[in-house]
């Protein structure tokens, strides 16, 4: 987005006149939630009501006192300047880090090119962020959800997640920060998975599982990329509620339950291009029924 257009949309947002479409456009480059919180600090720079007639009357009453007249004229201007200065200071500190957010909404998968020409493929319902100001010096990505990385060789590349960190130099690998057992899978090169002072080094065709807080490495059949990129979700003894959560992300639906799924696990696959078939595959294997009304799925 061009800076001038960005400023225009920001002015509309501040004035409360921005359309929902333009708000979505602006939110791609500006963290509006963070800005709203920081703008709350401006409240202390209160600008008094400007009553021109009253001020003029006071000037006439005090016309024999030039010094007082000047002070009277400057008060509203100084108050306004204080408010503007406060906003400028908050804006300066807010925009100190140029954070770029990449996101794939429910029901979509998106591929992004990073500043070093590495590529990142985000699965549905996933968000990744990086600091554009220092990315080329410190290649660091924060990931929430699931992403497949193809990293250009060069300096250290780090992916930070709430389940642990992955460090690489040049490789292709998949990370899943959700509740599945598989945490990271290496498709080429070498990656180091780190969590709670544990480190497991993966090479091609190896994955790391997380069980009871411990990292476990196993070998899997050879492949060049995860199946979800080609529109297929595969599970091996995964809690059934997590399987339905993934289905909800892929099809942008709401799944609700009339039965307790505690302790039940699913092994199998479902495609991302046919909701009815996916529900039949899962529910048929688990001896469940379902109903569908608009975008709400009820499991029985």
What does the pLDDT look like over 28-68, one tens digit per residue?
777 666 666 555 544 443 444 444 455 445 545 544 554 44
| Ordered strands of the 290-293 beta sheet | 254-257, 296-299, 290-293
The answer to whether residues 121 and 127 touch, using CB atoms and an 8 Å cutoff, is: no
Residue 55's H or E segment, with its range, is helix 52-61
What mean pLDDT value characterizes the chain?
80
The answer to whether residues 145 and 177 touch, using CB atoms and an 8 Å cutoff, is: yes
The confidence score (pLDDT) of residue 17 equals 77
Domain ranges of the chain: 3-94, 99-219, 231-299
pTM: 0.65
b/e for 20-47, b at 16 or more Cβ within 10 A?
eeeeebbeebbbeeebeeebeebeebee
99-219 CATH choice from 2.60.120.1440, 3.40.50.20, 3.30.1050.10, 3.40.50.300: 2.60.120.1440
The confidence score (pLDDT) of residue 85 equals 42
Return d(Cα 54, Cα 52) in angstroms, integer.
Answer: 6
Which is higher by pLDDT, 221 or 79?
Answer: 221
Residue 211 has pLDDT above 50, yes or no: yes
The confidence score (pLDDT) of residue 69 equals 42
How many CB atoms neighbour CB 171 within 10 A?
20
Residue 270 has pLDDT above 50, yes or no: yes
The confidence score (pLDDT) of residue 65 equals 53
CATH code for 231-299? 3.55.50.30
């Amino acid at each position: 987005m061009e800076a001038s257009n960005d400023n225009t949309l920001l002015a509309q947002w501040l004035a409360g006149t921005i359309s929902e479409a333009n708000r979505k456009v602006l939110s791609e480059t500006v963290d509006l939630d963070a800005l709203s919180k920081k703008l709350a600090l401006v409240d202390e720079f209160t600008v008094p009501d400007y009553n021109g007639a009253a001020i003029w009357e006071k000037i006439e009453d005090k016309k024999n006192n030039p010094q007082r007249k000047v002070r009277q004229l400057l008060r509203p201007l100084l108050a306004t300047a204080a408010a503007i200065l406060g906003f400028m200071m908050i804006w300066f500190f807010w925009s100190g880090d140029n954070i770029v957010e990449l996101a794939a909404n429910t029901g979509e998968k998106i591929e992004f090119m990073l500043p070093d020409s590495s590529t990142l493929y985000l699965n549905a319902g996933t968000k990744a962020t990086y600091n554009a100001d220092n990315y080329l010096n410190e290649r660091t990505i924060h990931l929430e959800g699931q992403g497949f990385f193809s990293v250009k060789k060069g300096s250290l590349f780090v992916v930070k997640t709430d389940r642990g960190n992955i460090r690489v130099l040049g490789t292709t690998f998949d990370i899943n920060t959700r509740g599945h057992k598989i945490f990271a899978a290496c498709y080429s090169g070498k990656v180091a998975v780190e969590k709670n002072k544990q480190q497991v080094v993966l090479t091609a065709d190896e994955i790391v599982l997380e069980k009871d807080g411990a990292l476990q490495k196993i070998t899997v059949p050879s492949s060049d990329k995860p199946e979800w990129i080609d529109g297929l979700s595969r599970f091996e003894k995964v809690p059934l509620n997590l399987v339905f959560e993934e289905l909800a992300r892929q099809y942008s639906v709401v799944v609700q339950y009339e039965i307790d799924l505690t302790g039940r696990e699913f092994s199998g696959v479902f495609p991302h291009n046919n909701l009815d078939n996916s529900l039949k595959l899962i529910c048929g294997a688990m001896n469940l029924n379902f109903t569908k009304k608009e975008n709400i799925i009820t499991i029985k």
